[in-house]
Structure 1
Amino acid sequence: MKSVFKISVFILLIGVWVGCEGDYRQEARGSFGEVVVLMDSTQFESETAEALRETFGGWIQTIPGKPPRFDLRFQDFTTNEQLEHYKRYRNLIVAAPINDSTNTGELVRALLNDEIEQQVREGEAFAFPLKDHWYRNQWVMLLSGQSDSTLAQQIRNSEETLTDNLINKELNRYTEEIYDRGEQVALADSIWQEEGWKIRIQHDWIKNIDTTYSENGEEQHFMTMRRPLPENDRWFWMWWKKVDDASQIDEDWINAKRDSLTKQWIRGSRDSSYVTTAHNRPHETEQFMFNDKLAFETLGIWTMTNDAMAGPFVNFTVYDDKTNRLFMLEFAQFAPKYDKRRFVRQFRSMLRTFETDSTWQTPVGEMAAEE
C-alpha cells in the first residue's frame, strides 16, 4: 500500500508544477469549522486523539454557548477508494506515530521525505501543514511523533500555534465568501477620501450614525452601520481621534473605553438600557502588528443592561503612528438561534480588511474650524 501512496504523491507534485500558472483542480469540500481527522479506528481513544479533542475541539469561552473551536470527525480508511473520498475535505488532519503499522501510519510516511521522517524519529519535528495539497483551498496537517504519548504532548504544547494556523486559513476563506456576494465599494472609497480610513463593506450594511463631537476638549469621531435581519441583528461601530502616543493602551483601557462608547452610542429600546461588556464572562485581548501598526484584538460577550440580551463581539484597536490617530472598531451580533462561532469568524475576517491612509492630513477647512 505504501508504494501506491508514493506514486500518487509523485503524480500530484507533477500536476501542481505543470499547473503553476493557475490551479484548475476542484475545490475542497466540507463545511466551515469542520475537521476530518484521519486516524486508525483503534486509536480513536488514544492520547493523541484526546489531545486533538482538547486543542482543535476545545471550547471557545468568549462566545455564548461555548462552542468548540472546530467540529472534529474521526475517520478510518481501509481502501484507496475511502482514502480518495476523505482527501477531498476542506480541513484534514492525518495523525499517527511514525512507526505505526496502520494504513494511516503508512500514509504519513509516504507523505514525508526521508529527511523529515528522520526529524520526527529524533523528536525534532512533529507538525507539517500542507497548503492546497490535493484540492484547491485545502488545509492539511500531518501530525506524527515518536510514540502516541509523545505526539499527544507535542500537540498540547503547541496548541495555540496549531489552532491559529487553521483559524487563519478559515478567516481567509470567510473573506472570500463574504465579499463574493457583493460589497459597497463606493461607500468604502468615500470614507477613505473623507476620513482617511476604510473597511470593506458588505452589500447590505446600512450606514447610520456619522458624527464628530468634542469630549474633554478633544475632537472625536463616531460612525455606525447595521445589518438588521429577522432574528439576526448585526452592527458595526467605529471611533477614532488624534493621540500623542499609544502607551496607555492595554486590555483594561480597551475594555473601559469600549464600555464608555457603547453606553453613549449603542443603546437599547429602553432609556436605561445600553450595551456593555459581560465582565462575568471570559474576554481575551491579543496584541500584534497589523499592517505595520500596533493593534489589539479583543473577543468577548456583550450584554444589554436592564434587558435579557447578549451576544458575541469582536473589537479591533489600531494605532497609526504616521498620523497619530487611534482607531477602535467593533462588530457585534444578537442572534439567539444562529451559529455564533461562524459570525465571530466572519467579523474577525472583515476587521482584517481595515486600512488607514498613513499620509492623511486633516482637511484645511476642519483645521480652520479647530483653530
Structure 2
Amino acid sequence: MKKILSIAIAAFIALVFYSCDKGSKGKKTFLPNVTGAAGEVVVVLDKAVWEESIGKTYNDILREEYPMLPQSEPIFDVVMIPPSAFTDIFKSHRNIVITKVGSEFAQAQIVLQRDVWAAPQTVLNIVGPTYPAIAKMLNDDKDRFVQLLEQAERDRVVQNAIRYEEKGLRKLLEKKFDISLNFPKGYQLRLDTTDFVWISHETPDISQGIFIYQYPYTDENTFTLNYLVEKRNSFVNKYVPGPTEGSYMITETLIAPIFQPLMYKNRYFGQLRGLWDVQMHPMGGPFVSYTTVDEERNRVITVEGYIYAPRFNKRNYVRQLEALLLTFSLGSENAKE
C-alpha cells in the first residue's frame, strides 16, 4: 500500500512539474499543448458570410502583406472554418478567432481569452449585434486586433527562450552593456568587440543573428531613418564580413528601410525594418532593429535581428527574432523590478 501511495505521489509531483509553466505568460496549467503552425490563425465564421464584408474584412486584415520581406508573405496564414467544423481538432489551436452575432451584444468588440482548450492559447471572441457592425469595428480597431495575435506569437517565443535559456549570453550582455536579452539554447557568441556584439543561431540552411551595439548620444536627430541607417552601416560594414574576401554586410537602399517610432514597456524605441545585402556577394535577407537611449549613461543602444534563409519563407523567423529583441531591458530597469 505504501509503495502504491509513493508511486501515486511521485506521479502527481511529476505532473505538476511538467505542467507548471506552459500556460500563457508562464502560468500553471494542466491543459494540453497548443497545435497548429506558427503564424496560423483559425477563424470560426458562418460559411454563408465568408464571401461577404465580414469574411473579406478578416482576409484583408489577417492576410495583409508582412512588411519588408524579400518575397511577399501574409502577416498570418488564415484557416477559415464554419462553426459546425469547430471540433476538438481545432479547439487546441494556438490562435482562434470566433465570431458571435446576436441582439444580446449591444456593440461590437473584441473579447480576449487565454488558455481555453489548450496552452499557451489565445482566443479572440469577436462579438456584435450584426456582421456589418463587427466589420466596421475590426477596420477601426485593426491595429489592436492584429497586435493581440502578434503578441501571442511573440509571448510563445519568449516563454520558450526563458524556459530553455542560454544564460551565459544574457550574463555576457549584462556585464558588457548593462542590458538584458533572453536567448534560447542554440545561440552562440560570434564576435565580442569594443561596442559591438554578434550572437547567432546557425544551421546548414538558416542563419538567425542578433547584433547589439552602442555609441554616444550626441545628436538630437538620432531617431531618424537616415541617421540610424548610417550608424548601422558603420558597424556592420566593419564587423560583419561576407563569405568572400573583401565582402561585407550593407543596408539595401534600392528598397529603403522603414522607420517607425514606438513605445514598448514604457520605453521609446526607433524601429527599423529593412533588407540587408552583402557588398560584392549575392547574399541578403530581412532585418529589424530597435534603438533606444540610455539617459543615465548618455548612450544609444541598438538591438537588431537579421535572417538569412534563401530557400525558405522568412516571416516566422523574423517574428521569432523580434520577440527576442523585445525582451530588452536596461540594468537599471531590472534593478527597479
Give 1:311 deviation, angstroms.
Answer: 0.8
Is residue 86 from structure 1 mapped to residue 90 from structure 2 by the alignment? yes
Give 1:183 deviation, angstroms.
Answer: 2.9
Report the 3-state secondary structure (helix = DSSP H, G, I; strand = E; otherwise coil) of the residue aligned with 1:308.
Answer: strand
In structure 2, the partner of 1:225 is 199
Report the 3-state secondary structure (helix = DSSP H, G, I; strand = E; otherwise coil) of the residue aligned with 1:223.
Answer: strand
- 1:209 aligned to which of 185, 191, 204: 191
The answer to whether the 8 Å contact 1:298/1:315 transfers is: yes
In structure 1, the partner of 2:65 is 59
Call closer, same or farther: CA 1:230–1:56 in 2, change over 3 Å: same
Looking at structure 2, the residues matched to 333 and 319 of structure 1 have their Cα atoms a distance apart, in angstroms, of 25
Q: Percent identity?
A: 21
In structure 1, the partner of 2:308 is 334
In structure 2, the partner of 1:191 is 173
Looking at structure 1, the residues matched to 131 and 201 of structure 2 have their Cα atoms a distance apart, in angstroms, of 48
Report the 3-state secondary structure (helix = DSSP H, G, I; strand = E; otherwise coil) of the residue aligned with 2:274.
Answer: strand
Looking at structure 2, the residues matched to 313 and 356 of structure 1 have their Cα atoms a distance apart, in angstroms, of 22
In structure 1, the partner of 2:124 is 141
Report the 3-state secondary structure (helix = DSSP H, G, I; strand = E; otherwise coil) of the residue aligned with 1:230.
Answer: coil
Matches of residues 215-254 of structure 1 in structure 2 within 5 Å? Answer: 221-244=195-218, 248-254=222-228
- 2:290 aligned to which of 299, 316, 335: 316
In structure 2, the partner of 1:217 is none
- 2:50 aligned to which of 41, 44, 47: 44
Looking at structure 1, the residues matched to 68 and 149 of structure 2 have their Cα atoms a distance apart, in angstroms, of 18
Looking at structure 2, the residues matched to 41 and 28 of structure 1 have their Cα atoms a distance apart, in angstroms, of 25
Report the 3-state secondary structure (helix = DSSP H, G, I; strand = E; otherwise coil) of the residue aligned with 2:197.
Answer: strand
Give 1:48 deviation, angstroms.
Answer: 0.8
Gap regions ≥5 residues in structure 2: 1-26
The answer to whether the 8 Å contact 1:276/1:303 transfers is: yes
The answer to whether the 8 Å contact 1:320/1:358 transfers is: no
Looking at structure 1, the residues matched to 110 and 232 of structure 2 have their Cα atoms a distance apart, in angstroms, of 39
The answer to whether the 8 Å contact 1:313/1:331 transfers is: yes
Call closer, same or farther: CA 1:231–1:28 in 2, change over 3 Å: closer
Q: Deviations over 1:259-288 (max 9, x none)?
A: 232222222133453222223336333323
Give 1:209 deviation, angstroms.
Answer: 2.5
Q: Deviations over 1:134-175 (max 9, x none)?
A: 333211112234433343232222222210111011100011
Give 1:70 deviation, angstroms.
Answer: 0.7
Q: Deviations over 1:61-83 (max 9, x none)?
A: 3122121111101111337xx44
4+ residue stretches of structure 1 with deviation over 6 A? none
Call closer, same or farther: CA 1:136–1:294 in 2, change over 3 Å: same
Give 1:96 deviation, angstroms.
Answer: 4.6
Matches of residues 279-318 of structure 1 in structure 2 within 5 Å? Answer: 279-281=253-255, 283-318=257-292
Looking at structure 2, the residues matched to 187 and 28 of structure 1 have their Cα atoms a distance apart, in angstroms, of 29
Matched pairs, number: 308
Report the 3-state secondary structure (helix = DSSP H, G, I; strand = E; otherwise coil) of the residue aligned with 1:309.
Answer: strand
For 1:49, give the aligned amino acid. G
For 1:28, give the aligned amino acid. V
Report the 3-state secondary structure (helix = DSSP H, G, I; strand = E; otherwise coil) of the residue aligned with 1:315.
Answer: strand
Gap regions ≥5 residues in structure 1: 1-20, 100-113, 213-220, 361-371
Report the 3-state secondary structure (helix = DSSP H, G, I; strand = E; otherwise coil) of the residue aligned with 1:32.
Answer: coil
Report the 3-state secondary structure (helix = DSSP H, G, I; strand = E; otherwise coil) of the residue aligned with 2:29.
Answer: coil
Coordinate RMSD, CA, aligned:
2.5
Looking at structure 1, the residues matched to 36 and 78 of structure 2 have their Cα atoms a distance apart, in angstroms, of 12
Give 1:133 deviation, angstroms.
Answer: 2.9
The answer to whether the 8 Å contact 2:212/2:304 transfers is: yes
Give 1:244 deviation, angstroms.
Answer: 4.9
- 1:351 aligned to which of 316, 325, 328: 325
Looking at structure 1, the residues matched to 129 and 200 of structure 2 have their Cα atoms a distance apart, in angstroms, of 52
The answer to whether the 8 Å contact 1:323/1:359 transfers is: no
Q: TM-score, normalised by structure 2?
A: 0.82
Give 1:84 deviation, angstroms.
Answer: 4.1
Is residue 72 from structure 1 mapped to residue 47 from structure 2 by the alignment? no
Give 1:247 deviation, angstroms.
Answer: 5.1
